[in-house]
Amino acid sequence: MKYQLYLSWQQVVSLFSYHWEREAFLFLLPLPFVIFLFRYLINRKSQTKIILSFTMPLKQNRITRILSFVPDVVQWMLLTSLILALAGPYKINSKIKIQPDGIDMALAIDISSSMLNRDVNPSRLVVAKQVATNFIKQRRNDFIALIAFAGAPYLASPITNDSSYLKQALSGLDSKLIKEEGTALGDALGMCINQLRDSPNPKKISILISDGNNTAGNLDPLTSTELSKTFGIKVYTIAVGSLKPSLDPVDESTLRLIAEKSNGRFYRATDQKSLRAIFEEINQQESTKVKEIRWEEHIDQSKFFFDFAFMLFFVGLFLKLSSVNNILED
């Protein structure tokens, strides 16, 4: 691999692909050729012809004559490599990074006993979990916190972008998870705020899925809503339950008020199909944008030329000090 690299940068084509920090040095490239041409012409004029009574074979004369140029070629390549190194060659490696501009969100699901009502087949809770799971699959670029609540809130998953962990946490939600009875909308929304408040992301939303009014907890829903506005958190509320008369009728009033006060939106889901459509609409409204970050990486190539010049220096030194030099000069 190393030898392939050396061969590639020595190729003429590679030189044209380089950029140069100090281009002025490139004007010196003809200088080695001029020096050796000038020296060759002077040496040629000063040579004295000696006529011998015998002649060496022509083939040997030609080989010796060709080899006599080896030291000059080595020196010429050495100077050329030094000039190229001093010119500061570098290559530009263009890079592109795709960075999704995601949203931070908290998903709060009511798991109180009323969510076991089967007016939405197979039950309000099962449908909510199924649709929420599909929603999480589509939000791979977002950070999501999962909160379950009944008479008290429960943090099923802190904010994360690990969709597998979130889906596992969601599948484990059950009405028996929280002992406190009732529906603590205010406390659930408060826990959503705690998960999102410190996020530097300007895009923050909460999605609150329930079927009833606030009947438990310490925090008033409107107080939680005002806090959501303070931290720039938009709240979507979804009331789940059939429009038909039921033992556990859906109370829309508080959920509507939370959505209106937080610049969010209220939805009513009467079956699995409508709940899927609601989540699809939220998915489109809160779409994730993608940033394309481009930058250039400058890779210095001068070291290769310095190394090559260093190697040629020792080659030239070897030719000068060894018996090879005597053969070439003869």
Task: State what percent of residues in the chain have pLDDT above 70.
Answer: 80
Rounded CA-CA distance 257/267 in Å is 12
Spatial distance between the Cα atoms of 177 and 151, rounded to a whole number of angstroms: 11
Number of separate domains in the chain? 2
Q: What mean pLDDT is predicted for residues 83-106? A: 80
Residue range of the domain that includes 308: 2-46+57-94+298-329
Q: Is residue 310 part of a domain?
A: yes
Is it the case that residue 8 has pLDDT exceeding 60? no
The Cα–Cα gap between 96 and 91 comes to 16
Report the pLDDT value the prediction gives residue 250, as an integer from 0 to 100. Answer: 85
Residue 10 belongs to some domain of the structure: yes
DSSP structure string for 4-28: HHHHHHHSHHHHHH-EES-GGGGGG
User: What's residue 307's pLDDT?
Assistant: 85
Quick check: helix, strand or coil at residue 312? helix
Which candidate, 267, 248, 280, 252, places its Cα nearest to that of 123?
248
Question: Same domain, yes or no, for 40 and 7?
Answer: yes
Identify which of 112, 107, 103, 124 has the alpha carbon closest to the alpha carbon of residue 151.
112
| Whole-number Å distance between alpha carbons of 56 and 94 | 60
- For residues 160 and 284, what is the distance between their CA atoms, to the nearest angstrom? 21
82-96, 238-252, 264-278: range with highest mean pLDDT: 264-278
186 & 314 share domain: no
Token pair in block for residue 145: 């916190």
d(CA 252, CA 34): 92
Same domain, 79 and 112: no
Averaged over 279-305, what is the pLDDT? 80
Residue 51 resides in a domain = no
**Inside any domain, residue 160:** yes
CB atoms within 10 A of CB 324: 14
* Residue at token pair 């806090």: 227
Contact 228, 262 (CB under 8 A): yes
Model confidence at 12: pLDDT above 50: no
Give the residue with greater pLDDT, 92 vs 134.
134
262: in domain = yes
Residues 119 and 252 in one domain: yes
Residues 192, 106 contacting (CB under 8 angstroms):
yes
Same domain assignment for residues 70 and 150: no
**What is each CA distance from 92 to 16, 19, 115, 294, in whole angstroms?**
13, 8, 60, 13
Contact (Cβ atoms closer than 8 angstroms) between residue 141 and residue 100: yes
303 and 280 inside one domain? no
Same domain assignment for residues 16 and 109 = no
Residue 270 makes CB contacts below 8 A (sequence gap 6+) with 120, 241, 242, 243
The CATH code of the domain that includes 253 is: 3.40.50.410
Take residue 62 and report the two structure tokens written for it.
């030609």
Q: Is the pLDDT of residue 299 over 90?
A: no
The pTM score is 0.62
Residue at 52 is within a domain? no
Same domain, 20 and 166: no
User: Which pLDDT does position 315 carry in this prediction?
Assistant: 78
The reply to whether 74 falls in a domain is: yes
Same domain, 83 and 220: no
- Same domain? For 79 and 133 the reply is no
Residue 139, SS3 per DSSP: coil
**Token pair for residue 220?**
């008033």
The reply to whether 305 and 171 lie within a common domain is no
CA distances (Å), origin 298, targets 18, 21, 94: 10, 11, 9
Q: In this predicted model, what pLDDT tens digit does every residue of 19-63 receive, in sequence order?
A: 888 888 888 888 877 777 777 777 666 655 555 554 555 455 565
- Whether 292 maps to a domain, the answer reads no
Q: Looking at the structure, tell me whether residues 9 and 144 fall in a common domain.
A: no
Cα separation, 81 vs 165, whole angstroms: 58
Give 58's contacts (C-beta < 8 A, 6+ positions apart). Answer: none
**282 close to 207: Cβ distance less than 8 angstroms:** yes
How many Å is the maximal CA-CA distance in the chain?
Answer: 131
Instruction: Output the average pLDDT for the chain.
Output: 83
* 112 and 183 Cβ atoms separated by less than 8 Å: yes
